[in-house]
Amino acid sequence: MTAATNSRREFSRIVAQSLAAAFAAPHVPPLLDAAQRKPTPAGAVRLNFNENPYGPSPKARAALADCSPIANRYPDEAYGQVIAALAQKYNVRSENILLGCGSTEILRAVDDAFLDPSKNVVAAAPTFEAVLDYARVLHSNAVPIPLTVDHRHDLPKMAAACTSKTGVAYVCNPNNPTGTIVTRDELAAFVQAVPPSALIVVDEAYYDFADDPRYSSAVEFIPAHPNVIVARTFSKIYGMAGMRLGYAIGAKEPIARLREQLVQDNGNAAVLQAALVSLADNDHVASCRAQLNGTRQWLCAELTKDSRPFIPAQANFVMLDMGTDVKPVIEQFRARNIIVGRRFAAMPNFLRVTIGTQPETESFLAALREIAPVRSARAAA
Ligand SMILES: Cc1ncc(COP(=O)(O)O)c(C=O)c1O
């Protein structure tokens, strides 16, 4: 038998196995699919999606209000301008930037480009699920690595789990839902240890809320480690979650591979104009950061006064240990028109609350004190 026959047989075997796996696997829709979510009641205090309650910069609002002159044209000009502005911000070239319909489209493109049924994705458990959801659609295996006892990514264990079969290693920093960070030095050791055949995706959706001096962006690792890409979004600090714009920074080759997966003309002209002026409005970013981090600090101080256990957070949300399954607790908040959560299967007793405006966060705390009075919280702890 010739080598060619052998390799044809091997190829047919792999194809047959992949097809069998594809058809045998139950269809599970992506967890974060908007069509599957419960509608939010009108007038509710929305503390469930880690949105920025202060919204876009006033300059972005003006750009959105005044978008009719550009609505009939394809968005090429603004698309290029946003890429150029981001390239300048990160001191890279345009070829190193990729725009997505939210950073979710970036994460989907990552999976589409780097995973298949023979590849796996290594990620913390729990973490933001999009990369894992789309991996499931592609019939790729997930390799979940539990968080450390202090609810942080266990990077040494994640690195050890990365093999030649690993297509993607996903690090969410700060992590959603725990709000914890990995330090610059921990990340430096991780990028060194992971095989260069795996794409390391560092999701920095909450970058702007982290104020721990040991934290820094993974962008610095890209020149020496071209298998690193960083995902960012306009949904959080820029207050534009409904506008759907995110981006990746990376070396030319992986960015080009991801670009092949995107919908052509995936930018919206009005949103791109709003993003362009937002990038130049440092005052709005600073003001959102100061207000939201100030409210986070206030909330954490109140939780401490109540002796309620919580995970110290570096993002615009906090995880509280309720000492009991949070499913009914979330419903009790909903009955008071305050939307919190969701429940995370790996941390069923923890309630995630987004930092809202100061009055919104005060209303959350007042409801919490009614739903779980302090004494019972102490007993549960
Ligand atoms: C860690 C993380 N990454 C990415 C996203 C997706 O954000 P978007 O698609 O709005 O940019 C979210 C949304 O909450 C998130 O928490």
Instruction: Compute, in angstroms, the gap from residue 42 CA to the centroid of ligand 1.
Output: 23
pLDDT tens digits, 287-299 = 999 999 999 999 9
The pLDDT tens digits of the residues spanning 262-281 come to 999 999 999 999 999 999 99
At how many degrees (to 10) do helices 76-90 and 269-280 cross?
A: 30
Query: Is residue 208 within 6 Å of ligand 1 at its C-beta?
Result: no
Q: Is 133 in the pocket of ligand 1 (CB under 6 A)?
A: no
Instruction: Order across the sheet with 310-311: list the strands.
Output: 310-311, 317-321, 350-354
Write out pLDDT tens, residues 111-139: 999 999 999 999 999 999 999 999 999 99
* Whole-number percent of the chain with pLDDT over 90: 85
The rounded percent of the chain whose pLDDT value lies above 70 is 89
230 contacts 249 by C-beta, under 8 angstroms: yes
Q: Which atom of ligand 1 is nearest to the CA of 107?
A: 4
Helix axis angle for 358-371 and 282-305, nearest 10°, is 20
Q: Is 102 in the pocket of ligand 1 (CB under 6 A)?
A: yes
Task: Give the pLDDT score at 115.
Answer: 98
Q: Please choose, from the candidates 163, 157, 165, 154, the residue with its C-alpha nearest in 3D space to the C-alpha of residue 126.
A: 154
Please determine, for residue 236, whether its predicted confidence score (pLDDT) is greater than 50.
yes
Does ligand 1 have an atom closer than 6 angstroms to the CB of 216?
no
Largest CA distance in the chain: 77
What integer pLDDT is reported at residue 172 of this predicted model? 98
CA angle 231, 103, 111 (to 5 degrees): 80
Q: How far is CA 56 from CA 59, 286, 315, 351, in A?
A: 8, 13, 18, 27
- Bond into 117 cis (ω within 30): no
CB 114 within 8 A of CB 168: yes
Q: Which amino acid is at 299?
A: L
Domain 41-52+283-380 has CATH 3.90.1150.10: yes
175 lines ligand 1 (CB under 6 A): no
CA dihedral in degrees (186, 229, 231, 58; nearest 10)?
100
Res. 75: pLDDT tops 70: yes
Domain borders along the chain are 41-52+283-380, 58-280
- Atom of ligand 1 minimally distant from the CA of 49: 14
- Cα(366)–Cα(81) distance, rounded to whole angstroms? 46
Pick the CATH number of 58-280 from 2.102.10.10, 3.30.70.580, 3.40.190.10, 3.40.640.10: 3.40.640.10
For ligand 1, say whether the CB of 60 is within 6 Å of any of its atoms. Answer: no
User: How do strand 141-146 and strand 120-125 relate by DSSP bridges?
Assistant: parallel
- The token pair that represents 33 in the structure block: 């699919």
pLDDT value at residue 41: 84
- Count the alpha carbons within 13 Å of 1 in the hemisphere toward its beta carbon: 5
The set of long-range contacts for 364-371, using a CB threshold of 8 Å and a minimum separation of 24, is 364/45, 364/47, 364/299, 364/333, 364/338, 364/340, 365/299, 365/302, 367/332, 367/333, 367/336, 367/338, 368/308, 368/320, 369/306, 370/336, 371/329, 371/332, 371/333
CA of 103 to the centre of ligand 1 (A): 6
Q: What is the pLDDT of residue 2?
A: 52
Q: Calculate how far, in angstroms, residue 307's C-alpha sits from the geometric centre of ligand 1.
A: 31
Q: Does residue 141 surpass a pLDDT of 70? A: yes
pLDDT in tens, 1-47: 455 555 555 555 554 554 455 445 555 555 556 666 777 888 999 99
pLDDT of residue 223: 98
pLDDT of 376 > 70? The answer is no
Bridge pairing between strands 166-172 and 199-203: parallel
Residue 205 has pLDDT above 90, yes or no: yes
For ligand 1, what atom is nearest to the CA of residue 245?
11
The residue to mutate among 203, 271, 344, 354, having the most atoms of ligand 1 within 8 angstroms of its beta carbon, is: 203
pLDDT band of 375, cuts 50, 70, 90: low
Please tell me the predicted confidence (pLDDT) of residue 40. 83
pLDDT value at position 1?
A: 47
Which residue lies with its CA nearest to atom 2 of ligand 1? 205
Q: What is the pLDDT of residue 23?
A: 47
pLDDT score for 42:
87
Tell me if 104 CB under 6 Å of ligand 1: yes
Look at residue 8 in the predicted model and tell me its pLDDT.
56
How far does residue 181's CA lie from ligand 1's centre (Å)? 16
pLDDT of 99: 98
| pLDDT, tens digit, 9 for 90 and up, residues 189-203 | 999 999 999 999 999
- As a whole number, the mean pLDDT across the chain is 92
Q: Do domains 41-52+283-380 and 58-280 have the same CATH topology?
A: no
- Which atom of ligand 1 is found nearest the CA of 101? 9
Residue nearest to atom 12 of ligand 1 (CA): 205
